[in-house]
Amino acid sequence: MLPIAVSRKALYGIRQAVRRDGKVVVKMKVQVFLADGFEEMEAVGVIDVLRRAGITVETVSITGRREVKGAHELTVLADNLFESAPDAGVDMLVLPGGPGVQLLDAHAGLKERLVEFAGADRWIAAICAAPMVLGKLGLLKRKAAVCYPGYENYLQGAEVNRSGRTVVDGKVITSRGPGTVFHFALTIVEMLKGRDLAQELKEKMIV
């Protein structure tokens, strides 16, 4: 079992497919949004763990080009541009932190999508400085949340947890920073595909 803080019951929005061998497979899709200055560990680490879990991950650039440069000069090629990546069939939106959070916060289309997801009780996850975007949109009101130290004032109306690594409240997951990446990613796996798979990955990855 992962030691996460869950202050409200997290409900699973699950699509299932039955394989020829009769086993039920849970099919989930996540979008990870990238802007120049994104924290590489928080994006790539999450993408890796989710794909290990069999979750479809679509990386989405908000820059207008597929090449996105991270905070430490690592350039990645996003799967799609925001304009070509609708949210149909998407189960969760993920925001990595880093200096690029300022660009995420300035992107009207992304913020509109976040508000729509929150209104429809669909999953949203943010790590490091990125919970700031959710807080400024009012999406953390009366919710427990964490963020990178120094960004607490942006979590408007939230019950700020200053000691937790990763917090789940309703359909919102927040985490503290680069050092909590695996915990954050495994929590996403647990919420989307169940505790057993998350624990299996944790053991295989020696986390």
The string of pLDDT tens digits covering residues 41-90 is 999 999 999 999 999 999 999 999 999 999 999 999 999 999 999 999 99
Distance, CA of 97 to CA of 87 (rounded, Å): 21
The pLDDT assigned to 12 comes to: 38
- Sorting pLDDT into bands at 50, 70 and 90, what band is 22? low
Distance, CA of 25 to CA of 18 (rounded, Å): 6
- Sorting pLDDT into bands at 50, 70 and 90, what band is 16? low
- Sorting pLDDT into bands at 50, 70 and 90, what band is 13? very low
Average pLDDT across the chain, whole number:
92
pLDDT exceeds cutoff 50 at 7: no
**Active site residue ranges:** 128
The pLDDT assigned to 17 comes to: 53
- Of the CA atoms within 13 Å of residue 95, those in its CB half-sphere come to 34
The closest alpha carbon to 193, from 8, 3, 7, 15, belongs to 15
Distance, CA of 155 to CA of 117 (rounded, Å): 18
- For 163, other C-beta atoms within 10 Å of its C-beta total 7
